[in-house]
Every structure is written in C-alpha cells, then in structure tokens.
Structure 1
C-alpha cells in the first residue's frame, strides 16, 4: 500500500471509531495521560487544519506554520475539548475531508517544496501525508474504543516502528532499546513522553 492509501484507510478507521462513540463516551479518558477522548478528537481536528496550512505553504510559497507556538496549540486543543460533541464530530470529519481535498489538488512540483514541522524540522511537502497517517493511525488506537495496533496494515506497522525507532535513537535511547529488543534486558527502557 502507498502512504496515501494508508492515510485514507486509517482516516476512515478513526472516523468510524469516533462515530461509534456515544456522546457520553467522549468524556471518558483516552489512552493518552491527561486527555479525554474530547481532547483527542479536538487534537486530530486541529492537526488536520495545521497540516492544511503546510499544504497551502507548499502550494503558494507563503510561509504558514502549523502552529504559532506550543502554547497556542495546547490552548486550541483545550478549548476544542469543551465544544459540544456534535460540533467535534462535524469538525473532525470536515477537516479530514478538507485536508484530503488539499492533498489531491497540490500541484506535482509543489510536493518538493519545503515546509517546517511543529518540531522545527524542514521537510519536503511530500512528508505531509505520512505526518497525517501517523496521527490518524496511532490516535485511532489512543481513543481506547476497541481499535488496536493489530487492526493496522502490517506494512504501516513496520513504517511506524521504523519512524519511532529513528526518533528514539536520535534521542539517545538506542543502546537501551537494542539491549531490550535483543533479549539482553528483561525490562523495557524508560523512553519518556509519548510521541
């Protein structure tokens, strides 16, 4: 499967999972510490909007960062978590559709244009579909509503593992991870905050 096929499949999985929640289920905790499902759905919506800004930047050449600041991003999620459930459902569906349309209409030459991620990395616009795929796939699981990593395509699981290992190695966790993965330690290493 291509990254775009993974993106479409995992977006559908996440949205079906959101649709399967009752209004009251939105107040339950997600799998992410300190976040309810409301927080998570708000985050997924605002992430789509942030990535749409990057697509626009790639298309026009006019810089448009994902977020003004970490504080702005966090405040946006917190405010979004207080919206009525019907509004959250509408927003997460609408922004997913709008992002897909933006990606479909991005001219071929614009995919090579560089944008800046929320972490400050300069990447070609061709990375945007993977950035969103990672979000919707992992957060479908994080909703803690019956979706598990076993529900994701095998190729996507491998790509996610490679991505996460790269980040963890870059953060200095390589020796501890290799020690554990090769069975030289019975205890998984403490890796710090979730990705």
Structure 2
C-alpha cells in the first residue's frame, strides 16, 4: 500500500476499496462456478468510458494528482483491453537524474499511445471483483547510443492490480501498477518508484 501514499485522499480511498473487498483473509476468496463467472462477466462486459488518475508532482505540490480520459473493454471472462494508454504516463516516473534516464524518459514520452491487453480473472461475485494481469506494452525508442526495445511491466497476480464493480451503487473502479522498465530484454533501474494508476468509470 506504500506505493499509493503519493495519491490524494480520494485516490487512496479508491485503492483501499479495491483491496478491501477481499480483506486480509484469503478464505473469503473461493473458486467461482462457471455460472457465477458468467454472472460477473454479464455485469461488466462491454466498453467503459472513464478517467485514469495518476501522480503528477509539481515543484509546488509533490502530492499533485492529474487524470486522463480513456476507455477500456472487457470482452470475455479472461480478457480486457485498456485503449490508447498514454506512453507519457508510463514515462512520468522514469529517472530524470542520469543522462540515459533523461533520454529514455523523453523518448518514451514521445511514443504513441498504445492499447494494453490484460488477462483477468473473476474472484468474487458480491461485489464483483477481478484480478488484472496487464501484458507489458512494447516500444521502440531511439537514444544517443542507438535504437532500443523497451517494455513496461506491471504488477500481476496481485490484489493491488484489480477491479471492482458494485452492482447496487454502479461504482466501477480499477487499479494497475507500473512496476519495472526493461530495455533490450534486461531489467533496468530507471523506474524511480512503483507507479499506481487508478481508473474510475463515468457515471
């Protein structure tokens, strides 16, 4: 939960809601039947419009939070796509001190928006709760020493990467966490801290 301390109270509360739905007791989570999974899917299937909130520190406000409008589609009981996720948000917390870190940050910020495909798995039916395992988006960047392949990895099979939908209140929120930067298939230290992204669906 420490990664979320950079967020405002509102966003922190969202993160708490996402993780508290299963509590600390893993016995609350059970294997759903095919019928229960179908019920979950029917409730959240389709394309949803909303905003993603992220940490955007400024010189005057280190706790500043910004947002971007986007959409996501839940297609099956195991797949979801986040559409046109801005690469600049993934670059936001890349090291801005080292020379190559600065280069990579600028290069990734200039990359086009890209869909993020995700595997999902429904875990609870009331409220509807699912884990999200995003695939690492891939980018080609040009730095002073040549062209490089960059992948941005997210937390997977983790309660902090999850979604929740309350059928009574119609509240729909999700969270994914950027956890690592790979360059040419090698793990780097360019990501200065784990970076959460909190999604809210428009009502």
Question: When the two structures are superposed, what TM-score results if normalisation uses the length of structure 1?
Answer: 0.30
**Which has a greater percent of strand?**
2
* Larger helix proportion of the pair: 1
Per the normalisation by structure 2, the TM-score is: 0.29
- The higher-RCO structure (CA 8 Å, 6+ apart) is 1
